């Protein structure tokens, strides 16, 4: 640690306050090799500088007798200020009596006038700065007991003192053990912590060969401030291999996000935030284990943050709209409109029409999708009621129930309340549940589906075949409709195997005695083939794209005639 301090080439800032220009120039010349010197002509000027740049200064060299505001007055102000009082003051005076008075007021030391030789002045400045920094830093617990790295508080204070944010040769890095919570659950807390300790030891070993400092921040995250590398991949994969040798736990994935110095306008705190963002991106990925923060990544995360921030207002202002894509029963002579799927659209007030592919995964990730879902449920239920009242047509609409909704203990209650409010039968609001929810928590999904079906709702298994489908799931969850993922339809004419898969899904549905909805039907030959194979319901651009409510209404009226 000490070596690292010595090795830091960053000049601390010293504020020289003296009304005599010759003195300021002389002191400036003495100090400027070791410090960045700022000069003020009197207490007032110094006070203004301190108020704007404050803790950027590591030391104040203060003359006492000055016009406008003298040194005593400035000391009084500084020592009464919560932040500024931490900056040590060395008083410059030729008066013995003033020396005592200054020290009593809180000055750290004094320099006599005429000045001592430069080396004496420099030594005094250095001693006071170091003493003051040690005093501040000692307040924090230095080491993290678990990993032996520094604590986050100590790490922050240390880098602040180093003025590390202006060091262009250092990287801000976050290293994380991917899916640490699962490791904890599977192998126990003790084993998981052992893994963290071993990772920390590897980082420490790496830092002994170069300048740097590391700390533990969250449960599974280690922050490293170290000399720049162009490629962290060898380092991290090397760590992984060593962990594989030493640890009982198999398949440990270390991930690192790195922020390379851009310019000194970005604070160190923000640099580590950006390293974290880069690390978030690379977590859960397999092809690579490190990522540098990039402006593209930054742009994307700012964009995401904007969407998240704008969402609630957008719901309130009806910038979200529900579109309806018709589904047709195709087994008769003529296709018959039987129902529709409600799909969300966002007409953003600044960004225009946004693709659901942009915001749905984002909101799924942070749970905000619940609000979107509830909005769609409300809108769709109200729409079904309007069509019933105006045209005496009951067109069931299916809405999405996201994974996170499944865990809502009030799910059945919320949906039932909508039926009551809009005077609908349960079959008029069909519920689409994605099969991937089964992988998350099978028991919760089964319980939720059973409760919903008991209330009379019809359940459609959405995106069937797109994820890790399990035949076991199909027998354990009572569903009413199977929605074949659109990829099956899109690829059905590619080769025999692809066609075979479509047949397989249809066979599974037949076995379960539920109808299949084929999504993504765009061509006549797809429709013909599906019909011939016994598929009952079809949805896709062949018949219609998703339509805004008024267009859907027109279609409905036309259909009624």
Partner 1 sequence: MVTIEKLKEFGANTEEGLARCYGSEALYIKLVNMIPKEGSFDALEQAVANQDLDKAFEAAHALKGVLGNLSLTPMYEKCSELTELLRAKKSVDYTPLVEELLNMRKKLCIICEE
Q: Given the rule CB under 8 A, which residues bind partner 1?
A: 19-23, 25-26, 29-30, 63, 65, 67, 94, 113-115, 117-118
63 or 536: CB nearest partner 1? 63
Cα angle, residue 73 at apex, residues 26 and 59 outer, rounded to 5°? 45
Name the minimum Å distance from CB 254 to partner 1: 51
Cα 330 from Cα 327, distance rounded (Å): 9
Name the minimum Å distance from CB 129 to partner 1: 20
Cα 173 from Cα 222, distance rounded (Å): 8
Name the minimum Å distance from CB 59 to partner 1: 19
Cα 235 from Cα 454, distance rounded (Å): 56
Which H helix or E strand runs over 87? Answer: none
122 or 419: CB nearest partner 1? 122
Helix (H, G, I), strand (E, B) or coil at 70: coil
Sequence-ordered alpha helix ranges (H) in 342-368: 356-366
97 or 208: CB nearest partner 1? 97
115 or 391: CB nearest partner 1? 115
Identify which of 172, 276, 161 has the alpha carbon closest to the alpha carbon of residue 218. 276
Cα 173 from Cα 175, distance rounded (Å): 6
Name the minimum Å distance from CB 115 to partner 1: 6
Phi, psi of 521 (to 5 degrees): -80, 120
26 or 412: CB nearest partner 1? 26
> Residue 337 region, left (φ>0) first, then alpha (ψ -120 to 50), else beta?
beta
- Beta-sheet strand order (sheet of 290-292): 212-216, 221-227, 170-177, 254-259, 290-292
18 or 310: CB nearest partner 1? 18
Sign of CA pseudo-dihedral 407, 409, 410, 412: positive
* Beta carbons of 397 and 457 less than 8 angstroms apart: no
Name the minimum Å distance from CB 127 to partner 1: 19
- What is the residue whose two structure tokens read 């059945």? 412
DSSP tag of 284: T
Name the minimum Å distance from CB 29 to partner 1: 5
Beta-ladder partners of 537 = 329, 517
Instruction: Judge residue 171's burial from the number of C-beta atoms within 10 Å of its C-beta, 0-12 exposed, 13-18 middle, 19 or more buried.
Output: buried
Identify which of 550, 488, 486 has the alpha carbon closest to the alpha carbon of residue 520. 486
65 or 321: CB nearest partner 1? 65
22 or 209: CB nearest partner 1? 22
- Token pair of 405 as six digits: 């909704």
Name the minimum Å distance from CB 20 to partner 1: 5
20 or 440: CB nearest partner 1? 20
Non-local (6+) Cβ contacts of 5 within 8 A are: 162
Name the minimum Å distance from CB 117 to partner 1: 6
63 or 157: CB nearest partner 1? 63
Name the minimum Å distance from CB 292 to partner 1: 44
95 or 206: CB nearest partner 1? 95
119 or 550: CB nearest partner 1? 119
Name the minimum Å distance from CB 24 to partner 1: 10
* Beta carbons of 258 and 278 less than 8 angstroms apart: yes
Name the minimum Å distance from CB 173 to partner 1: 41
Percent helix, strand, coil in the chain (nearest 5)?
A: 50, 20, 30
Half-sphere exposure at residue 218, Cβ-oriented, CA atoms within 13 angstroms:
11
Name the minimum Å distance from CB 138 to partner 1: 34
- Token pair of 357 as six digits: 């592919």
- What is the residue whose two structure tokens read 């005077």? 423
Beta-ladder partners of 290 = 256
């Amino acid at each position: 640690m000490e070596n690292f301090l010595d090795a830091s080439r960053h000049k601390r800032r010293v504020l020289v306050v003296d009304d005599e220009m010759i003195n300021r120039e002389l002191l400036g010349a003495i100090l400027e090799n070791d410090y960045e010197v700022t000069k003020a002509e009197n207490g007032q000027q110094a006070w203004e500088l301190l108020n704007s740049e404050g803790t950027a200064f590591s030391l104040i060299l203060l003359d006492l007798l000055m016009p406008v505001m003298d040194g005593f007055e400035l000391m009084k102000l500084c020592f009464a200020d919560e932040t500024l009082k931490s900056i040590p003051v060395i008083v410059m005076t030729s008066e013995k009596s003033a020396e005592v008075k200054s020290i009593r007021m809180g000055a750290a030391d004094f320099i006599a006038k005429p000045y001592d030789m430069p080396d004496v002045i420099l030594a005094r400045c250095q001693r006071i700065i170091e003493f003051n920094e040690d005093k501040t830093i000692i307040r924090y617990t230095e080491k993290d007991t678990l990993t032996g790295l520094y604590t986050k508080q100590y790490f922050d204070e240390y880098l602040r003192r180093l003025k590390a944010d202006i060091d262009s040769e250092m990287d801000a890095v976050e290293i994380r053990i991917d899916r640490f919570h699962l490791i904890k659950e599977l192998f126990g807390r003790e084993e998981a912590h052992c893994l963290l300790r071993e990772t920390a030891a590897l980082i420490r070993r790496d830092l002994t060969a170069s300048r740097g400092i590391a700390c533990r921040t969250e449960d599974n995250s280690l922050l490293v401030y170290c000399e720049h590398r162009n490629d962290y991949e060898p380092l991290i994969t090397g760590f992984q291999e060593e962990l594989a040798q030493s640890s009982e736990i198999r398949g440990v994935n270390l991930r690192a996000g790195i922020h390379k110095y851009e310019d000194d306008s970005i604070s160190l705190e923000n640099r580590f935030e950006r390293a974290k963002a880069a690390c978030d991106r690379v977590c859960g990925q397999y092809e690579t284990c490190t990522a540098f923060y990039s402006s593209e990544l930054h742009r994307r995360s700012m964009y995401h943050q904007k969407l998240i921030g704008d969402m609630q207002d957008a719901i309130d202002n009806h910038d979200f709209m529900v579109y309806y894509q018709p589904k047709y029963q195709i087994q008769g002579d003529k296709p018959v409109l039987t129902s529709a799927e409600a799909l969300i659209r966002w007409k953003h007030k600044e960004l225009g029409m946004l693709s659901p592919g942009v915001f749905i995964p984002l909101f799924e990730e942070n749970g905000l999708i619940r609000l979107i879902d509830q909005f769609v449920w409300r809108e769709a239920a109200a729409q079904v009621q309007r069509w019933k009242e105006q045209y005496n047509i009951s067109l069931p609409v299916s809405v999405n129930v996201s994974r996170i909704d499944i865990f809502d203990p009030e799910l059945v209650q919320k949906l039932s309340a909508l039926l009551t409010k809009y005077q609908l039968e349960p079959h008029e609001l069909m519920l689409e549940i994605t099969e991937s929810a089964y992988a998350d928590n099978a028991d919760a999904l089964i319980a939720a589906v059973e409760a919903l079906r008991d209330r009379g709702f019809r359940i459609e298994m959405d995106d069937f075949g797109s994820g890790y489908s399990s035949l076991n799931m199909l027998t354990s969850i009572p569903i009413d409709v199977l929605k074949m993922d659109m990829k099956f339809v899109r690829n059905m004419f590619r080769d025999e195997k692809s066609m075979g898969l479509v047949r397989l899904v249809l066979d599974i549905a037949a076995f379960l005695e539920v109808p299949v909805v084929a999504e993504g039907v765009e061509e006549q030959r797809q429709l013909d083939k599906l019909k011939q194979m016994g598929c009952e319901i079809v949805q896709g651009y062949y018949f219609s794209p998703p339509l805004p409510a008024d267009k859907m209404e027109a279609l409905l009226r036309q259909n009624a005639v």
